[in-house]
């Protein structure tokens, strides 16, 4: 549904625009029809820039893309007809009601008046907006407003929907509702591309994920496959202050250990295949070295571990 090759974008930067920021440095994507595709990365990774390029809002400096069969550079107008785009923060106006926004948006796509009203009626029902459809948007909760934003993005029945950080700032319940709406769109056959810096969102919502950092894709695949690549589990050991060095020395050569990292003075992060089976052994070795563990935590790999393995940083520290 979406295929990009080497998409690039730089911005002038510095006080007089004398330097450049390479916001997107050659991105190849392959998004399949009917999937929810996640674009996961820390702030500044280039997610919005990529999405805005794909949505024809800014022109790439280089590279190419085919979106729903239309060529991004040669035929942006056709791309625009086939996609919907919801900006970070959305596009609703305080004083306007959801019903008015929806009719207006449908009319903007050239829909006749009666048809626009019908589509609005359908959208209000589908997105469960009827109850407050005739109140100004300023009176909506964050979650209600986000649902209006998404309804606006699909009023012209696009094949692909781009959502930029659709759940930022929402409470967990509202976030769950937005996820449910996105999944419903998938059951209707729509392809959805979502950017996010929330690991749980990429994990729980997306069929496949591209992890981006500094304008490049550092990993791509299903959440499960990406985590499997990290191979195995992580055991977090909490020990007394100053003991992480001795503990690391004791454990370093254990055959079942793939890798080990110090976590400050009082902790170790151990990468191994089967954490549950290794824990008793680990404890014996530490005991032999006179190190008493205070806490032992077994973690299945997370997408943050994938990010860490590829970039050396945690996504939340970026």
Closest by CA to 46, choosing from 29, 67, 66, 69, is 29
**Residue 43 gets which letter from DSSP?**
T
Shorter beta-carbon distance to ligand ADP: residue 21 or 73: 21
46, 60, 90, 293: residue in contact with ligand ADP (rule CB under 6 A): 46
8, 36, 37, 48: residue in contact with Mg ion (rule CB under 5 A): 48
> Whole-angstrom Cα distance, residue 182 to residue 147?
10
Bridge partners, residue 66, by sequence: 3, 71
Phi-psi region of 39 (alpha: psi -120 to 50; beta: other; left: phi over 0): beta
Should residue 23 be labelled a site residue for ligand ADP when binding is judged by CB under 6 A? yes
Shorter beta-carbon distance to ligand ADP: residue 48 or 244: 48
> Whole-angstrom Cα distance, residue 30 to residue 51?
14
Q: What is the number of other CB atoms lying within 10 angstroms of the CB of residue 154?
A: 21
Shorter beta-carbon distance to ligand ADP: residue 43 or 139: 43
**Residue 143 gets which letter from DSSP?**
H
* Segment interacting with ligand ADP (CB under 6 A) among 27-35, 46-54, 92-100, 186-194: 46-54
- Using CB under 6 A as the binding criterion, the count of chain residues that bind ligand ADP stands at 12
Should residue 48 be labelled a site residue for ligand ADP when binding is judged by CB under 6 A? yes
Tokens of 31: 């998004």
* Segment interacting with Mg ion (CB under 5 A) among 39-47, 150-158, 230-238, 264-272: 39-47
The residues that touch ligand ADP, with contacts defined as CB under 6 A, are: 11, 13, 21, 23, 41, 43-49
The residues that touch Mg ion, with contacts defined as CB under 5 A, are: 47-48
């Amino acid at each position: 549904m979406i295929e990009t090759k080497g998409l690039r974008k730089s911005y002038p930067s510095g006080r007089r625009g004398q330097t450049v920021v390479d916001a997107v440095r050659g991105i190849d994507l392959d998004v399949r029809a009917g999937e929810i595709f996640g674009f996961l990365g820390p702030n500044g990774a280039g997610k919005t820039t990529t999405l805005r390029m794909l949505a024809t809002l800014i022109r790439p400096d280089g590279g190419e893309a085919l979106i729903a069969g239309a060529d991004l550079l040669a035929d942006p107008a056709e791309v625009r007809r086939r996609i919907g785009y919801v900006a970070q923060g959305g596009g609703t106006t305080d004083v306007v009601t959801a019903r008015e926004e929806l009719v207006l948006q449908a009319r903007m796509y050239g829909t006749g008046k009666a048809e626009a009203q019908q589509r609005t009626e359908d959208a209000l029902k589908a997105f469960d907006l009827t109850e407050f459809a005739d109140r100004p948007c300023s009176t909506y909760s964050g979650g209600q407003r986000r649902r209006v934003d998404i309804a606006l993005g699909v009023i012209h029945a696009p094949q692909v929907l781009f959502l930029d950080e659709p759940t930022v700032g929402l409470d967990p319940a509202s976030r769950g509702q937005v996820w449910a709406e996105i999944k419903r769109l998938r059951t209707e056959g729509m392809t959805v591309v979502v950017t996010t810096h929330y690991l749980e969102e990429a994990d729980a919502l997306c069929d496949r994920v591209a992890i981006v950092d500094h304008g490049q894709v550092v990993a791509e695949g299903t959440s499960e496959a990406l985590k499997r690549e990290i191979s195995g589990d992580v055991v977090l050991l909490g020990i007394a202050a100053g003991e992480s060095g001795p503990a690391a020395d004791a454990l370093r050569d254990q055959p079942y250990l793939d890798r080990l990292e110090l976590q400050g003075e009082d902790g170790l992060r151990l990468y191994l295949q089967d954490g549950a089976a290794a824990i008793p052994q680990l404890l014996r070795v530490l005991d032999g070295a006179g190190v008493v563990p205070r806490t032992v935590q077994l973690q299945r790999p997370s997408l943050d571990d994938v990010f860490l393995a590829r970039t050396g940083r945690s996504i939340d520290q970026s």
